[in-house]
Amino acid sequence: MASVSSPRVPNSQSYPSAARLSDSLCFPQYTASLKCNFFVSFLSSFLFSHALV
């Protein structure tokens, strides 16, 4: 019977030059955009649900 091995997943140490998103200069703008999109989506859903009542 042949053994099946799982694919090797590299750890973060394998790529020392890979930057994390939180280290990026764009991170504040990225998170602000996510928060804005979440708020607009929430507000739209809230207004839509209350308009039908």
27 belongs to a structural domain: yes
pLDDT computed for residue 48 by the predictor? 84
pLDDT averaged per 10 residues, the chain (length 53): 56 60 83 91 86 59
Is 46 inside any structural domain? yes
Q: Which domain holds residue 45?
A: 23-53
Question: What pLDDT, on a 0 to 100 scale, did the predictor assign at position 25?
Answer: 83
Q: How many domains does the chain have?
A: 1
pLDDT (0 to 100) of residue 33: 92
Quick check: 21 and 30 in contact, CB under 8 A?
yes
Predicted local distance difference test score (pLDDT) of residue 22: 76
Q: What does the alpha-carbon distance between residue 26 and residue 23 come to, in Å, rounded to a whole number?
A: 9
In a domain, 41, yes or no: yes
Does 18 map to a domain? no
